[in-house]
Structure 1
Amino acid sequence: MKIIKKIHTNGYRKKTQRNLVSKLKRMRFNARNESWEIQELKSLCVLYKKHIKAKSNLAKSLIKNGRKVILPAPVSIDYYQAPNYRTTNLFLSNITDCIVRAKRRVFIDFSATELISAAAMLSFLAQIETLVSMKHVQGNTPISFSHPKSKKVKSILNQVGFYNLLNKPVGKVEEFEDVNFWHHTSGLCADPSKARPMLDAISHEIKTEYSKKLYRGFIEAMANSVEHAYPTSGSCNKWWTFAGVKDETLIVVICDKGVGIPETLPHTQPASILSALLLKFNANFNQVKDSAYIQAATSLQKSSTHKKHRGKGLQDVMSVIRSTGTGYLSIFSNKGRYKYMGEKKALKESINDYTTSVNGTIIEWSIPLVVER
């Protein structure tokens, strides 16, 4: 009888411990929406419960400063949906904080990632390259990652150069039509001409009556990074871009990791002009939100450089949308977003403000190259 009771007790304890570990694993998964330090603590709880007999040795190993921090990537690395926007920004913030403040190495776990959208991918790529280029981490490998389980996510990371950036062998990659059309490049802010090979690669597909305006809009966005995004010189004062034609639609995404439009606009435009624009958009002068500054920037007719050929880039893109009645322009900058779109010949614009920042500016537009008259 005692033997049966002992077996029953041991079985109950093991089951209880398994349930506890499972609960802690769920906590670790849910910690994706929390800071990396909380994520790590919850991960350590799982390890601690799994290795109860080695408490002292485990405790010593966990506090080693050089231990990699395992960061699970979000299910959706995306900026277009509000919940994904917050999760993606927290993910990027955690990576940056680990490397810059805590001087820790990071291992990105892509096992749960199922979706990566264009704007968020470009911002992610730019952030990782910025971190890898920092002086205190050059020559080291502060970031490593797992192969995604999703074949499409792996294809995206390979297509945009993420594997090459972190020197990881890619292995077998499946091709997808909605991934392979992307061309990507980057360059120092002083040399927007680096984008020319990419533009040449898609130029034969954008020979429309609006091609000149679209090209000028692209170059203007590059020039804005040169002049405004980075007020001080640095080792990674760069721009990054994706561009491609899919289903007879031109899609362009441009990103910089500068100070953002809401920071530069009050310093580059006369107070009278800026006040008039903010008044036009019914902005609260006591607390001007980032989206209002972005909206004001799209309405400027002249560049702060006072050059006749400048300041028309966003206006050019918007004029194409107005003329065709279709397409969209989207601008994320710091904590705001502005969107201008044509849908069934009707024009709409919207603004959004968030609690977290993209830490820079992301300009994206999509223009159909064949328009029904």
Structure 2
Amino acid sequence: MREDEWDGVRSFDSIEFQGETRRKFTFEKKLCAYDKNAGSQLISTINEMENHLIQNEGIPVVVDLSDVKKITACGATVLFSSISLCQLETSNSFIIKVIPPTDSYAQSLFRRSGLWDAIRPGTLRKLDKLWDVKSNFQSGNDPDRHLDPTLEILQENLNCKFPDKLKEAINEAYNNIVRHAYPKEGSDTRWWQYSYINRETNKLVFCIADRGIGIPLSFKNIEQGSATKLISHAMIKGNTSTLKPYRGKGSWTMQKPVVKDIKHKLIIVSENGVYKYVDPDKELELYSLGSSFKGTLLAWEFDIGNHS
């Protein structure tokens, strides 16, 4: 078996850490949510951690990132959502402690990207502060309250007008989460997001994750098939989980910013399905992971030319 292959087996040890017994969850070298091997590893580990802390009310945890050498935007967003979810569900700021990467580049990125501030001990007050300091990492539950601050933060980092079609897609993603991701009445309709601008490549990346029922489950009563098939079905203009024609624009709106432009990309991860729209002249990349993400992750890579 190659070093980067995943055999589906995980072991989590109890250790003494800073004077108390904690269960250690070790993450692999590449923090990525959509790569076949790295994505399966990451999602399997956060699933085990969430089951341990939320379902089983287990002992506190140490998240060990010391082996991590590469942090992708999608991987960072999923990790942020998982750690924050555990902190909120247990109402314990210190339920998780983190060992940062030892690799110098990964450690620098871990801190300057804002990931450390996003996953450090804390609950709702910490999440509110991320908005106050205009962090690249944020979490919200109200589109009316959080859309404008999100766009303002992104606009501040651009020297050009913020793309209207991406604004529309982000707004639709927020509304879809609030309306469809959490069907249980009274649920916190929360999402987690990360955005950044790569000055070297002139790319704007925006990732958003919810921890709801996922796209495939919301379409199970309408269409049959694998997670990838159901995600693909959801992305066809006019298809809707409500069976109401006037409500069939949501998923298409989220893909609309990247259609007909080879410089723009969209990645979706929901359950074990991965949907990658990277080139309008090529077939979609559709494949399954070895683990199922509880929720939906959307990521846009948007070319901003030489205007940033």
TM-score interval, smaller chain = 0.7 to 0.9
Structure 1 residues 32 and 163 mapped into 2: Cα distance closer, same or farther (>3 Å)? farther
**Aligned residue runs from structure 1 range 185-264, under 5 A:** 185-188=138-141, 190-191=142-143, 193-203=145-155, 205=158, 207=160, 211-233=163-185, 236-246=188-198, 247-264=201-218
3-state SS in 2 of match to 1:91: helix
For 1:90 and 1:201, locate their aligned partners in 2 and report how far apart those are by CA, in whole Å.
32
For 1:199 and 1:215, locate their aligned partners in 2 and report how far apart those are by CA, in whole Å.
7
Structure 1 residues 82 and 164 mapped into 2: Cα distance closer, same or farther (>3 Å)? closer
Q: Counting strand residues as a fraction of each chain, which structure ranks higher? A: 2
Unaligned runs of 5+ in 1: 1-29, 45-60, 169-180, 275-284
2:287 match? 352
For 1:234 and 1:127, locate their aligned partners in 2 and report how far apart those are by CA, in whole Å.
20
Letter of the 2:293 partner, please give it: V
Structure 1 residues 141 and 305 mapped into 2: Cα distance closer, same or farther (>3 Å)? farther
For 2:237 and 2:256, locate their aligned partners in 1 and report how far apart those are by CA, in whole Å.
13
Q: Is the 8 A contact 1:192 1:222 kept in 2?
A: no
Structure 1 residues 98 and 249 mapped into 2: Cα distance closer, same or farther (>3 Å)? same
2:228 match? 291
2:84 match? 129
Structure 1 residues 187 and 318 mapped into 2: Cα distance closer, same or farther (>3 Å)? closer
Q: Does 1:34 align with 2:34?
A: no
- State the structure with bigger RCO (CA 8 A, min sep 6), 1 or 2: 2
Structure 1 residues 199 and 326 mapped into 2: Cα distance closer, same or farther (>3 Å)? same
For 1:125 and 1:338, locate their aligned partners in 2 and report how far apart those are by CA, in whole Å.
21
Aligned residues: 282
1:20 match? none
Shift in Å at residue 200 of structure 1? 1.2
Structure 1 residues 98 and 82 mapped into 2: Cα distance closer, same or farther (>3 Å)? same
Which of 344, 352, 361 aligns to 2:296? It is 361
2:130 match? none
2:104 match? 151
3-state SS in 1 of match to 2:24: strand
1:160 match? 114
Shift in Å at residue 226 of structure 1? 0.4
Which of 106, 110, 118 aligns to 2:73? It is 118
- 196-205 or 359-368, which moves further after superposition? 196-205
Shift in Å at residue 320 of structure 1? 4.0
Q: Is the 8 A contact 1:325 1:347 kept in 2?
A: no
**Percent identity of equivalent pairs:** 19
3-state SS in 2 of match to 1:339: strand
TM-score (ref. length: structure 2): 0.79
Larger radius of gyration: 1
Shift in Å at residue 110 of structure 1? 2.0
Q: Is the 8 A contact 2:278 2:284 kept in 1?
A: yes
**Aligned residue runs from structure 1 range 68-83, under 5 A:** 68-83=22-37
Shift in Å at residue 314 of structure 1? 4.2
**Aligned residue runs from structure 1 range 13-52, under 5 A:** 34-36=9-11, 39-40=12-13
Structure 1 residues 323 and 31 mapped into 2: Cα distance closer, same or farther (>3 Å)? closer
2:131 match? none
1:221-260 CA-partner distances (Å, limit 9, x unpaired): 1111101111114564311111233232221111000010
1:103 match? 58
For 1:33 and 1:119, locate their aligned partners in 2 and report how far apart those are by CA, in whole Å.
21
Structure 1 residues 327 and 33 mapped into 2: Cα distance closer, same or farther (>3 Å)? same
TM-score (ref. length: structure 1): 0.66
Shift in Å at residue 353 of structure 1? 1.6
Letter of the 1:222 partner, please give it: Y
Structure 1 residues 329 and 248 mapped into 2: Cα distance closer, same or farther (>3 Å)? same
Q: Does 1:92 align with 2:27?
A: no
Q: Is the 8 A contact 1:32 1:87 kept in 2?
A: no
Q: Counting helix residues as a fraction of each chain, which structure ranks higher? A: 1
For 1:120 and 1:192, locate their aligned partners in 2 and report how far apart those are by CA, in whole Å.
27
3-state SS in 1 of match to 2:40: helix
1:235-289 CA-partner distances (Å, limit 9, x unpaired): 643111112332322211110000100111235xxx4xx5xxxxxxxxxx5xx10
For 2:262 and 2:60, locate their aligned partners in 1 and report how far apart those are by CA, in whole Å.
49
Structure 1 residues 258 and 297 mapped into 2: Cα distance closer, same or farther (>3 Å)? same
